[in-house]
Amino acid sequence: MSIVNGNEIFAAARKGHYAVGAFNINNLEWTRSILAAAQETNTPILVQTSMGAGKYMGGYELCLNLVQQTVKSMGITVPVIMHLDHGNYEAAKECIEVGYTSVMFDGHDLPFEENLEKTKEIVALAHAKNISVEAEVGSIGGEEDGIIGEGELADVEEAKKIAATGVDYLACGIGNIHGKYPANWKGLHFDRLKELAAEISTPLVLHGGSGIPKEQIQKAISLGVSKVNVNTECQLAFADATRKYIEAGKDLEGKGYDPRKLLAPGAQAITDVVKERIDWFGTPSVK
Ligand code: 13P
């Protein structure tokens, strides 16, 4: 199966009341671990690069080539969507040029009319090449310079206008936060999600999927969320497994310092997290 766009996969997810996971990659291990989880569960998957990860890995073309070649060399047969996560206008255009099959244009910090206009432009450019588009309304909270923001709830009227541009999936702020959730987090705003889902048939996206209790994620999916983004959870699992390996002194035994050995427990931990999340999301097997 070659790399595909997200249109049919996420439209089917919204109809079927399940979600498909979107997982961020950082390097070869991350890419292999996430793809392995999808193959082992025989489910579609979305692999995404943030702008930072794209820069870290050496550019979007390299990221796309990495995923394409890894899909080929691992003999991956499930559908894989190659997506830009939280792209600005320039990054979204670049990924459309390079050949990603899906891009997020995140204009939430622009004045609304500008977000709307730029989303329209990206939709026109992407759809001309059969590439899917995600946009964002409201904002996803998170930690910035030590200050934890709650995020801004998506306004239903604004969300309707962005959905009308023809975006294929829509990220809405509903109290979700990137990174670790603070102890006093109030939980997802299900009332706002219900209002949004009642007005918009576009598949909805839940960012900040790490650390949200399973019951809340599953409730959000039952109400119209079709794509759940997970990043921090994989990073924590990787760091934890790697720390355990080193603290157990395994890098000092024989050739335990070989990166192929040293990174293996962390890589397996990522696969385990992704498989567990696929189960939570109810993603059905590919026939
Ligand atoms: P987390 O890192 O909180 O899982 O968020 C991931 C995300 O939403 C990427 O866009």
User: Is residue 178 a known part of a binding site?
Assistant: yes
The Cα 29–Cα 34 span in angstroms is: 9
CA of 47 to the centre of ligand 1 (A): 12
User: Is residue 285 a known part of a binding site?
Assistant: no
User: Is residue 189 a known part of a binding site?
Assistant: no
Give the count of domains, the chain: 1
Atom of ligand 1 nearest to the CA of 207: 8
Arithmetic mean of pLDDT, 100-113: 94
Q: Is the pLDDT of residue 145 over 90?
A: no
249 found inside a domain: no
Q: Report the 3 state secondary structure along 220-286.
A: HHHCCEEEEEECHHHHHHHHHHHHHHHHCCHHHCCCCCCHHHHCHHHHHHHHHHHHHHHHHHCCCCC
What residue numbers bound the domain in which 98 lies?
3-178+185-235+267-281
CA of 250 to the centre of ligand 1 (A): 31
CA of 211 to the centre of ligand 1 (A): 10
- The predicted pLDDT at position 142 comes to 72
Q: Return the residue whose CA atom lies nearest to atom 9 of ligand 1.
A: 229
CA of 83 to the centre of ligand 1 (A): 14
Q: Which residues pair with 24 in a beta bridge?
A: 48
User: Is residue 86 a known part of a binding site?
Assistant: yes
245 found inside a domain: no
255 found inside a domain: no
In this predicted model, what pLDDT tens digit does every residue of 265-279 receive, in sequence order?
999 999 999 999 999
Atom of ligand 1 nearest to the CA of 209: 4
CA of 73 to the centre of ligand 1 (A): 28
User: Is residue 242 a known part of a binding site?
Assistant: no
Interacting residues of 237 by C-beta distance below 8 A, sequence separation 6+: 266, 269, 270, 272, 273
List, by residue number, the catalytic residues. Answer: 85
Atom of ligand 1 nearest to the CA of 178: 3
Q: Is the pLDDT of residue 238 over 50?
A: yes
Which two structure tokens, joined as six digits, stand for 170? 């829509």
Q: Return the residue whose CA atom lies nearest to atom 5 of ligand 1.
A: 208
Q: Is the pLDDT of residue 133 over 60?
A: yes
The chain-wide mean pLDDT, for the chain, equals 95
157 found inside a domain: yes
253 found inside a domain: no
165 found inside a domain: yes
Q: Which residues pair with 105 in a beta bridge?
A: 87, 135
In this predicted model, what pLDDT tens digit does every residue of 158-191 receive, in sequence order?
999 999 999 999 999 999 998 988 888 889 999 9
Arithmetic mean of pLDDT, 234-253: 98
163 found inside a domain: yes
Contact at 8 Å (CB) between 32 and 66?
Answer: no
Atom of ligand 1 nearest to the CA of 235: 2
CATH number, domain of 134, equals 3.20.20.70
Residues at CB less than 6 angstroms from ligand 1? 24, 85-86, 178-179, 207-210, 229-233
How far, in whole angstroms, is CA 87 from its chain's centroid?
A: 12
- Residue to mutate (ligand 1; options 232, 236, 238; most atoms within 8 A of CB): 232
246 found inside a domain: no
Euclidean distance between the first and the last CA atom of the chain, given in angstroms as a whole number: 13
- The predicted pLDDT at position 1 comes to 62
Which two structure tokens, joined as six digits, stand for 164? 């009308």
